Amino acid sequence: MTGIKEVARKAGVSISTVSNVMNETKPVSPALKARVMEAIEALQYEVNPVGRGLKSNKTNQVGVIVPSFNQVYFPAVLQGIHEAGIKYGYTILVFETNGDVELEKQHVRFLQHSWTDGILLASYANKENISDRKYIRSLLDTGSRKKEIPVVSLENVLDPGIDSVIIDNKKAASIAVNHLVSLGHRTIAHIAAPLRFQIGILRLEGFREAMKHAGLPVDEDLIVEGDYSPISGYRSMKDLLKKGKEFTAVFAGNDQMGIGVIRALLDEGHRIPEDVAVIGIDNNFPSTLITPSLSSVNLPKYELGYQAMRLLNERMREPKRPRCVITLDSELVVRKSTSKDGSGDWNLNGW
């Protein structure tokens, strides 16, 4: 490993001069500069980031903590993060929690002990839970640490003191429900995303508001909570059908549950969309592949990651700037599960 000392020796200058040439921190005479450059070239020298990190207390690394590297949502977010990371000069350390908050805390704690300059966190912490609240506070604690590690929260606002990039989930849900209403549906079931989290609550609120706005009653028995997974959508729908509930449309709290819902309806011999229309939310590519293809509301996943990294970068450079929440917008995508005229195209690109 060639170090700064060897470069200095080879160029016949002091190490500070080499450093100054590298970082352009101070003017260096053309003659010396040339000699140093030459030596750097000859020795293929590159600075050792560990040494630099020790001195500067910066690593140019950011930690990314997500529930899952799973196969439809976070990979796209990660792509956005990675792309922005390259742009702003950060590399990405990844951690998977599987939705286990204890694991999440562990990873956060690990990162706070000085590897990373910042953290991007898609948290499963629950604001209502007392121990989780304490943990959330610790995210903004600048306490005894010399180095405060900024956090940007993905997808939910953990605390007003934490920068966040979110999607307007209430609006997205309303868009989905409004679509069903516009098709003439009056009795609509909702397979909710987990209600201990903001996302689930907001989507449910969006559902309620849209129903109210349309002057439609909400039958509480038609609201069933799932856990995001396709299988939970499947089971929830089976339960609803077993109970003999009547409805002509279903709004699923995400696409994965929507896919489970469709499967359950088909299994029980219902026609989609003639007997029951189904819409999800997320717009993942598998939703184009099933039959009938699943209508959905597109969420800007890549953008979410990109903006989060951008925001984190700004926070790291300017710790004092006011906290901010970036809200991204969503968009209706009509497919066959709600309308015969919807798109039946498969997404054959980008995966």
Partner DNA sequence: TTGTAAGCGTTATCAG
Partner DNA sequence: CTGATAACGCTTACAA
List 22, 32, 37, 49, residue binding a copy of itself (CB under 8 A): 49
Of residues 82-121, those binding a copy of itself (CB under 8 A)? 82, 91-96, 109-110, 113-115
Which of 182/291 has CB closer to a copy of itself? Answer: 291
Tokens 């856990």, residue located? 227
List 231, 326, 328, 334, residue binding a copy of itself (CB under 8 A): 231
List 34, 41, 42, 51, residue binding DNA (CB under 7 A): 51
Which of 43/195 has CB closer to DNA? Answer: 43
Residues comprising the chain, all counted = 351
Strands 118-121 and 151-154: parallel
List 24, 27, 184, 322, residue binding DNA (CB under 7 A): 27
List 28, 39, 65, 76, residue binding a copy of itself (CB under 8 A): 76
List 48, 71, 182, 327, residue binding DNA (CB under 7 A): 48
CA distance readout (Å), 341 to 140, 297, 338: 50, 17, 9
Tokens 């956060």, residue located? 108
Is 46 a binder of a copy of itself (CB under 8 A)?
yes
Is 29 a binder of DNA (CB under 7 A)?
yes
CA-based radius of gyration for the chain:
26
Question: Among 214, 140, 135, 147, which residue's Cα sits nearest to residue 174?
Answer: 214
> What residues pair up with 342 in beta bridges, in sequence order?
none
Is 55 a binder of DNA (CB under 7 A)?
yes
User: Residue 108, Cα to own-chain centre: how many angstroms?
Assistant: 16
Please provide residue 292's backbone torsions phi and psi, each rounded to the nearest 5 degrees.
-75, 155
| Partner whose footprint covers residue 20, from a copy of itself, DNA, none (CB < 5 to 8 Å by kind) | DNA
Distance CA 251, CA 279 (A): 5
Residues forming the site for DNA (CB under 7 A)? 1, 3-5, 12-17, 19-20, 22-23, 25-29, 31-33, 45-48, 50-52, 54-57, 146
